[in-house]
Structure 1
Amino acid sequence: MIENIKTVSDLNFKNKIALVRVDFNVPVNNQSYKIIDDTRILYSIPTIQKIISDSGKVVLMSHFGRPKGKYSKIYSLRFIISYLSKKLKIPIKFSETCIGKAVEKKISELKNGEILLLENIRFYKEEEEGNENFAFKLSKLGDIYVNDAFGVSHRSHASISIVPKFFGEKKCIGFLMKKEIQSLKKVLEKGRAPITILLGGAKISSKIAIIENMINLVDYLLIGGAMSYPFIKAQGGKVGNSLVDEYNDLKVLKKIIEQYKKQKKTKILFPKDVIIADSFKNYAQTKIVSIHSIPDGWMGLDIGPTSIKNFCEIINYSRTILWNGPLGVFEFQNFSSGTTSIAKSIVKSTEHGAFSLVGGGDTIAALKIKKYENKISYLSTGGGAMLESLKNKMLPGIKAIIS
């Protein structure tokens, strides 16, 4: 990870305009636009408050949803204004545009301690294209650039990786980004043994490089959820109609298994038993079978009791834990016990002094069902960005700050 990266603490924002990239892409109720999970916004507030307390001016850039480069009322960021005003206890100004004379005029009228929120930056197709000219126009809006949007820092988008180029030394990261980097460091560089990484969910393709990178680095790699089925298939097991990601290169999975057998440090564990169902429904007919012998017409929807016991035993004596991806279809009550048991076990370990880092929308949603979210050491605001970091890659958003 990065040493000595410049943060907002290292700069004085007095009489300066801070152009701050935040991630306000939060889940909302489709009808009322009530915010369902405000974690990302809450985590960004200390950065905004620091700039204001310095007597600086704040211009906030964010995206919301996937409007595909066109204006769409349903993706407007206007709904954030009242929420943010309440949290910061000051009025928030709003600009319907992100570039051009109208927004430049609004910024020129800003007083110290005032905040201007720009409309959804993804209303411009140039944002996702990483367009240099668009980035230059955005850079004219501020004196200092601040990246506090970890959740999208793995994207090579204009506001993330191109805009900082135009600020020279006058760029830094916010407190949210700093916490994310420090938390990953606690796992990857300074983790107390035993270190356990638990990977679940469906997408194995996005996690292959992580598994390869973690072998011989961590003590335990627990692989569950739909991620486990391609591995079982690669070992000659029968997975029935279980969800198998589009990743079909079983040779690569076999190679990982061989690589694992040759080293002595990391123990990789897959579920031994699974709860299978005859259809993808909460009240489907179920039975518990070996993960290696799921009959045709049946699908694995949760890890079984033996697997829960095995995984929880390891978590219970781990001192460093990272978790991304549920262990089953936790949205269905009858297939939620694997994910819930793991969450409970991580909470218990955290209470006994372990460091726990949890990321990914579904994983955090599973924690929140049981109100465990405040019992974890750190909740990451970026599932994809966290996963990219675990591949030992420098995120474009971080690279742009230090280069």
Structure 2
Amino acid sequence: MGWKTIDDMDLNGKKVLLRVDINVPVENGRVTDATRIERIVPTVDDIIAKGGKPILVAHFGRPKGKVVLDMSLRQVLPTLKEKLGHPVAFVETLDAAEAHTEEHDSAEVMLLENIRFHPGEEKNDPEFAKRLAGLGDVFCNDAFSAAHRAHASTEGVAHHLPSCAGRLMQAELEALEAALGNPQRPVVAVVGGAKVSTKLDLLGNLVAKVDHLVIGGGMANTFLAAQGIDVGKSLCEHDLADTAREILAKAEAAGCEIVLPSDVVTAREFKAGAENEVVPANACPEDAMILDAGPGAVAKVGEVLDGAKTLIWNGPLGAFEIPPFDTATNAAAARAAELTKAGKLTSVAGGGDTVAALNGAGAADSFTYISTAGGAFLEWMEGKTLPGVAALGAA
């Protein structure tokens, strides 16, 4: 696949510049969700076990090349030390990192201050990348979620050091390769969400690669309307009707079945427990909104999943945040989880709403792989080259 893993590198006595994503939610100076920190632990442990010294490079928020105290990584330090279980030295400046103080040298792990405090980071300034690379002997990228950014710490340093993927990056790339690169067929993609406009590249790429494409959420309304169906007051991008028809034609030419809801759940109000009714997809009342796929549509998705070997999922099938309009998403997620647990399906999912929806359905733990990388996951699904991945084979 053109990139190396930690297993391919000699790390004994080496300083390992380790790009991680610990951009975790913080409230009142305390980390409220340590998931991203927990996910880097295997990489840090393996580097130390091989005799290497991890120097963590990470961003926090969007300081835009300036020092912003509210975005200091110092506030994640206590949680980082707790989860890693190793002494961590915090280094405020690159000058200090280059100075090799006794405290830094004695600690098993070093953490650099927010790399985006430096204007050269997001500009991918060659001199800054070279200076950053000078801190290490090997570069290890474990931040797939930032791999779609061509920044100094994700792309630039890889041109100066032997490079490899960390365990989290490796797992992500292997999962995506299994889902889209060289998958077992039939392949099903479930794509949902509010707007077609945000996922045009994704849909265009998928129809050429998958056998069945299930479209749900507000996006499905746009496709229904493009076929001349009245969707009432539903969320719908009527100006994209021609685009939707082009995607349908492209799918037909590629032999990809597009699955749209045959029946829908409609309501006059968008609120929890709103009075609702199930109607055929072509019978939405003029004063109502389509807020979920109906039981017939769910049954069809279940049939498609039953016949599949590989599933890639991005986006919910309805307004999942508000019950009862989470019914279709929950039912489809439960079926995918059941098939995965039975060893019949390889299931990969990602994207913010997707993770929340699958967690809400209680299905996330049973999926083969759940990606927490929003933008990078989407761009990979769109068939784009990710600079942070491509650069691993650069030096």
Shared fold per TM-score greater than 0.5: yes
CA-CA distance at 1:113 after TM superposition: 6.7
Tell me which residue corresponds to 1:67: 63
Hey, what's the Cα distance between the residues in 2 that align with 1:378 and 1:17? 30
* Secondary structure, aligned partner of 2:336: helix
Tell me which residue corresponds to 2:243: 252
Hey, what's the Cα distance between the residues in 1 that align with 2:149 and 2:283? 40
* Secondary structure, aligned partner of 2:279: strand
Summarize the alignment of residues 180-191 of structure 1 with structure 2, pairs less than 5 Å apart. 180-191=172-183
1:126-155 CA-to-partner distances (Å, cap 9, x unmatched) read 433333333233222222111111111112
Hey, what's the Cα distance between the residues in 1 that align with 2:368 and 2:221? 30
* Secondary structure, aligned partner of 1:302: strand
Q: Which runs of 5+ in 2 are unaligned?
A: none
1:163 to 157, 160, 175: 157
Tell me which residue corresponds to 1:117: 111
1:194 to 165, 176, 186: 186
* Secondary structure, aligned partner of 1:358: strand
Tell me, yes or no, if structure 1 residue 361 matches structure 2 residue 352: yes
Tell me which residue corresponds to 2:39: 43
* Secondary structure, aligned partner of 1:208: helix
1:174 to 162, 166, 172: 166
CA-CA distance at 1:179 after TM superposition: 1.2
Tell me which residue corresponds to 2:269: 279
Tell me, yes or no, if structure 1 residue 88 matches structure 2 residue 84: yes
CA-CA distance at 1:107 after TM superposition: 6.7
* Secondary structure, aligned partner of 1:323: strand
Summarize the alignment of residues 210-221 of structure 1 with structure 2, pairs less than 5 Å apart. 210-221=202-213
CA-CA distance at 1:396 after TM superposition: 0.6
1:76-110 CA-to-partner distances (Å, cap 9, x unmatched) read 3233322222222212221233x3x1232257753
Tell me which residue corresponds to 2:14: 16
1:352 to 342, 349, 352: 342
Counterpart code for 1:145: F
2:129 to 126, 132, 135: 135
After superposition, the Cα gap between the structure-2 partners of 1:328 and 1:261, relative to the gap in structure 1 and judged at 3 Å, is same
Hey, what's the Cα distance between the residues in 2 that align with 1:42 and 1:125? 29
Hey, what's the Cα distance between the residues in 1 that align with 2:54 and 2:349? 30
Summarize the alignment of residues 335-346 of structure 1 with structure 2, pairs less than 5 Å apart. 335-346=325-336
Hey, what's the Cα distance between the residues in 1 that align with 2:34 and 2:361? 14
* Secondary structure, aligned partner of 1:159: coil
Tell me, yes or no, if structure 1 residue 25 matches structure 2 residue 17: no
1:30-54 CA-to-partner distances (Å, cap 9, x unmatched) read 346333350x333322211121112
Task: Provide the aligned C-alpha RMSD in A.
Answer: 2.4
Hey, what's the Cα distance between the residues in 1 that align with 2:119 and 2:198? 25
1:270-316 CA-to-partner distances (Å, cap 9, x unmatched) read 11222223233224342323334434443222222211111122113
Tell me which residue corresponds to 2:140: 146
Hey, what's the Cα distance between the residues in 2 that align with 1:388 and 1:90? 35
| TM-score normalised to structure 1 length | 0.89
Greater mean deviation of Cα atoms: 340-349 or 288-297? 288-297
* Secondary structure, aligned partner of 1:196: strand
Which stretches of structure 1, 4 residues or more, deviate above 6 A after TM superposition?
none
Counterpart code for 1:393: K
Counterpart code for 2:317: L
Q: Which runs of 5+ in 1 are unaligned?
A: none
Hey, what's the Cα distance between the residues in 2 that align with 1:298 and 1:107? 67
Hey, what's the Cα distance between the residues in 2 that align with 1:58 and 1:211? 39
After superposition, the Cα gap between the structure-2 partners of 1:68 and 1:342, relative to the gap in structure 1 and judged at 3 Å, is farther
1:104 to 89, 98, 102: 98
Hey, what's the Cα distance between the residues in 2 that align with 1:217 and 1:325? 18
Greater mean deviation of Cα atoms: 270-279 or 11-20? 270-279
Tell me, yes or no, if structure 1 residue 230 matches structure 2 residue 226: no
After superposition, the Cα gap between the structure-2 partners of 1:339 and 1:331, relative to the gap in structure 1 and judged at 3 Å, is same
Counterpart code for 2:80: L
Tell me which residue corresponds to 1:320: 310
Hey, what's the Cα distance between the residues in 2 that align with 1:107 and 1:145? 21
Tell me, yes or no, if structure 1 residue 330 matches structure 2 residue 330: no
Work out whether residues 17 and 56 of structure 1, in 8 Å CA contact, stay in contact via their aligned partners in 2.
Answer: yes
Hey, what's the Cα distance between the residues in 2 that align with 1:251 and 1:21? 43
Identical residues among aligned pairs (%): 38
Work out whether residues 88 and 110 of structure 2, in 8 Å CA contact, stay in contact via their aligned partners in 1.
Answer: yes
Counterpart code for 2:270: F
CA-CA distance at 1:344 after TM superposition: 0.5
After superposition, the Cα gap between the structure-2 partners of 1:303 and 1:35, relative to the gap in structure 1 and judged at 3 Å, is same
After superposition, the Cα gap between the structure-2 partners of 1:286 and 1:65, relative to the gap in structure 1 and judged at 3 Å, is farther
Tell me which residue corresponds to 1:388: 379
| TM-score normalised to structure 2 length | 0.91
Counterpart code for 2:333: A
Tell me which residue corresponds to 2:392: 401
Hey, what's the Cα distance between the residues in 2 that align with 1:308 and 1:368? 19
Hey, what's the Cα distance between the residues in 2 that align with 1:109 and 1:95? 10
